[in-house]
A and B are shown apart, each in its own frame.
Chain A
Amino acid sequence: MTGMGSIQQFEVRLGDIASARSGDKGNAVNIGVIANTIEIYRHLQEMLTSDVVDRFLKPLGGSPCKRYELPNLMILNFVIPNALGGGGSRSLRIDSQGKALGQVILEMKIPVHAKIFHAIHSVETKEALHAR
């Protein structure tokens, strides 16, 4: 498993390589995804397109997703109109303001290069050793 050709052979949770925060604007939700490193940001720029996010969150009923890029802060910001079932006061959903959707997106599986995969893997090993 060498070289960049191995990209499809590894998968991680988005939450292993990024963090997220979500909130509402009326019936739209914004989900900011913050990459842990600039290398991961570049990778997510390629993999985490607005189409991919739209497909993942399709059951919410909102669309089309628009993506904004902030490389200076390693943030990809996704804005999805009509995703909250009516918004803050009118939505019947338990998560009427989309506060949980940042955590939802972190459960997405992202194909990664061997290098990113092993970097996470080595951090996890270190944490496990530390815990002992």
Chain B
Amino acid sequence: MASKVKIGNAQGFWGDNIDAPARLVAQQPDLDYLTLDYLAEVSMSIMAIQREKDPTLGYAVDFIDVIRSLAPFWKKGSKVKVVCNAGGLNPVGCARACQMALREAGCLGKRIAVVTGDDIIDNLKDAPERSYFNHMETGARLSSILPTIVTANAYLGSKSIATALRQGAEIVITGRVADPSLVVSCCIAHFGWNLGDYEKLAGATVAGHLIECGTQVTGGLYSDWLDIEDPADIGFPLVEMGSNGSFVVTKPPNTGGLVNRKTVVEQLIYEIGDPSRYLSPDVTVSLNALAVSEIGQNRVAVTNAIGSPPPDTLKVCATYRDGYRAEGTLTIFGKHAVKKAKRCGEIIIDRVRKAGYVLDKTLIECLGTGACAPSILSQEDLYETVLRVTVADVRKEAVLRFSKEVAPLVTSGPPGVTGYTSGRPKVRPVVGYWPCLIPNEEVFPSVTLLEVS
């Protein structure tokens, strides 16, 4: 067994660069595992909407194109294994589509594993009064949204994926799993770690956290972003994991972006709550003694993650329907642009009200004035602003009415109103996010193997 294992990430979210996986494999031919993370908090609901229209869907369809793009490498002898959560709400459907794509590409004999068991919506529906299912942030009772619930998935850990890899799977497709577990499972399978080796699992979890958002650790979002070289060709990250759980973050040679102490530390704290208790289904991680040091160009070593047993509950990501929303924009140029823009916004809302709809929620923003820092950093003396009016309501017809009230300002608004080219605002369903918990022993992950024949 090699003393190091190389694990890359080439997809940080559903919608990331679709050429990245094939490019990473081409740039780093000795890569052992390629992880792809497709699932944000509300992705499952988007998949649910797609599955309603076509029951064979409900997964990240981009992934099938990724598989097609990787097929030529496998035919030329690449041994890279793929671990991804592209299965979404329909991991089995995703695996079948993947199987068919590989068959068409002539990659016969390839072994695909599907991990299921994360879908626990029936548990919620059967006992909505259980306090485990209360909203984690607000404490609200599940019964308040039960009629509109769409999906409920537990964040599974590494165990089933590692089992699949140990059974010889070359592509593992899951639904909802904890993002870092994509990396942790590769390490468990490769090194034969025990599931109680918490220090090692903690190191691998930090590695997974660092690369799960793809280029956010190789120069994306970096403070000195304007200084990074060749940003159009920014490299996706990989970790070289050691058998003790310490690792090096790097990127393939001759790619853009950079990996230095600062890119790593900035990503380390991304979406972290209490850094002494980072919870995953595999391990509870503390970053309190973590050491991060540059050991070469584009090479950063990370050591001393502290691990302790995981919680006895799994986090659940449930989603529910929460009415409709739309947003419309107009550009205003000229003296008093901001004042004029605000008045346009008020006219729009007023006209919707006069048409019979008092909207549940409305927001008028003037982009350019510091809309990202409302009443914190404001600059209103501008010659140009983009008016953005956003509304939400349980009634679709109310939001539809709003969508028809933006364009009339093009002829009834102030001089210098422009930028209306993208048509009426699109009315979209709102997906509510309901984080809650479920006891570990009530979730039963399982692995199914398929072969491409």
Residue count of chain B within 8 Å CB distance of chain A: 51
Mask of B296-307 contacts with A, CB within 8 angstroms, 1/0: 000000000000
Q: Are B325 and A73 in contact (CB under 8 A)?
A: no
Pick the interface stretch among A3-11, A42-50, A55-63, A113-121: A55-63
Pick the interface stretch among B47-55, B66-74, B237-245, B370-378: B370-378
Q: Are A92 and B390 in contact (CB under 8 A)?
A: yes
| Shortest beta-carbon distance from B139 to chain A in Å | 12
Interface check B26, CB cutoff 8 A: no
Select one of B265, B287, B372, B390 contacting A34, CB under 8 A.
B265
Instruction: Give complex CA distance A87, B375 in Å.
Output: 19
| Shortest beta-carbon distance from A95 to chain B in Å | 4
Instruction: Give complex CA distance A93, B391 in Å.
Output: 10
Q: Quick one: closest B residue to A31, CB to CB?
A: B269
Interface check A23, CB cutoff 8 A: yes
Interface centre among B289, B372, B435 (most CB of A within 10 A): B372
Q: Are A88 and B372 in contact (CB under 8 A)?
A: no
Select one of B40, B267, B390, B432 contacting A21, CB under 8 A.
B267
Q: Are B432 and A32 in contact (CB under 8 A)?
A: no
Q: A27-B137, A72-B291, A104-B376 are in contact. Are A88 and B269 (CB under 8 A)?
A: no
Q: Are A94 and B371 in contact (CB under 8 A)?
A: yes
Q: Quick one: closest A residue to B374, CB to CB?
A: A59
Instruction: Give complex CA distance A100, B290 in Å.
Output: 27
Interface check B109, CB cutoff 8 A: no
Q: Which of B327-379 contact A (CB under 8 A)?
A: 327, 361-363, 365, 367, 371-377
Instruction: Give complex CA distance A15, B221 in Å.
Output: 15
Q: Which of B360-408 contact A (CB under 8 A)?
A: 361-363, 365, 367, 371-377, 388, 390-392
Q: Are B363 and A93 in contact (CB under 8 A)?
A: yes
Q: Which residues from chain A contact B432 at a C-beta distance below 8 Å?
A: 89-90
Mask of B275-294 contacts with A, CB within 8 angstroms, 1/0: 11000000000011111100
Q: Are B374 and A60 in contact (CB under 8 A)?
A: yes
Q: Which residues from chain B contact A30 at a C-beta distance below 8 Å?
A: 269, 271-273
Interface check B34, CB cutoff 8 A: no
Q: Are B290 and A73 in contact (CB under 8 A)?
A: yes
Q: Are B288 and A72 in contact (CB under 8 A)?
A: yes
Interface check B427, CB cutoff 8 A: no
Q: Are A94 and B433 in contact (CB under 8 A)?
A: no
Instruction: Give complex CA distance A104, B288 in Å.
Output: 26
Q: Quick one: closest B residue to A93, CB to CB?
A: B363
Q: Are B372 and A104 in contact (CB under 8 A)?
A: yes
Q: Which residues from chain A contact B435 at a C-beta distance below 8 Å?
A: 26
Q: Are B269 and A75 in contact (CB under 8 A)?
A: yes
| Shortest beta-carbon distance from B261 to chain A in Å | 9
Interface check A70, CB cutoff 8 A: yes
Interface check A28, CB cutoff 8 A: yes
Q: Are B271 and A68 in contact (CB under 8 A)?
A: no
| Shortest beta-carbon distance from B345 to chain A in Å | 12
Instruction: Give complex CA distance A59, B376 in Å.
Output: 7
Q: Are B288 and A70 in contact (CB under 8 A)?
A: yes
Q: Which of A13-32 contact B (CB under 8 A)?
A: 19-21, 23-28, 30, 32
Q: Which residues from chain A contact B45 at a C-beta distance below 8 Å?
A: 89
Instruction: Give complex CA distance A82, B138 in Å.
Output: 9
Q: A56-B376, A59-B375, A94-B365 are in contact. Are A77 and B262 (CB under 8 A)?
A: no
Interface check B10, CB cutoff 8 A: no
Interface check A107, CB cutoff 8 A: yes
Q: Are A88 and B273 in contact (CB under 8 A)?
A: no
Q: A73-B287, A88-B42, A89-B42 are in contact. Are A79 and B376 (CB under 8 A)?
A: no
Interface centre among A24, A73, A77 (most CB of B within 10 A): A73
Instruction: Give complex CA distance A25, B273 in Å.
Output: 8
Q: Are B266 and A32 in contact (CB under 8 A)?
A: yes
Instruction: Give complex CA distance A42, B326 in Å.
Output: 46
Mask of A78-108 contacts with B, CB within 8 angstroms, 1/0: 0101100101111011110000110110010
Instruction: Give complex CA distance A53, B138 in Å.
Output: 22
Q: Quick one: closest A residue to B267, CB to CB?
A: A21
Q: Which residues from chain A contact B390 at a C-beta distance below 8 Å?
A: 92-93
Select one of A21, A26, A79, A93 contacting B433, CB under 8 A.
A26
Q: Are B275 and A23 in contact (CB under 8 A)?
A: no
Q: Are A88 and B262 in contact (CB under 8 A)?
A: no
Instruction: Give complex CA distance A88, B431 in Å.
Output: 9
Instruction: Give complex CA distance A92, B362 in Å.
Output: 8
9 smallest A-B Cβ distances: which pairs? A32-B269, A59-B375, A100-B372, A19-B223, A92-B363, A23-B271, A92-B390, A104-B373, A95-B372
17 residue pairs from A and B, CB less than 8 Å apart: A27-B137, A30-B273, A32-B269, A34-B262, A34-B269, A56-B376, A68-B276, A73-B268, A74-B265, A88-B42, A89-B431, A89-B433, A90-B322, A90-B430, A92-B363, A92-B391, A92-B392
With contacts A89-B430, A92-B325 known, what are 15 further pairs, Cβ within 8 A? A21-B266, A26-B435, A32-B268, A56-B376, A68-B273, A70-B269, A70-B287, A70-B290, A73-B287, A73-B292, A89-B431, A92-B391, A93-B390, A94-B372, A100-B373
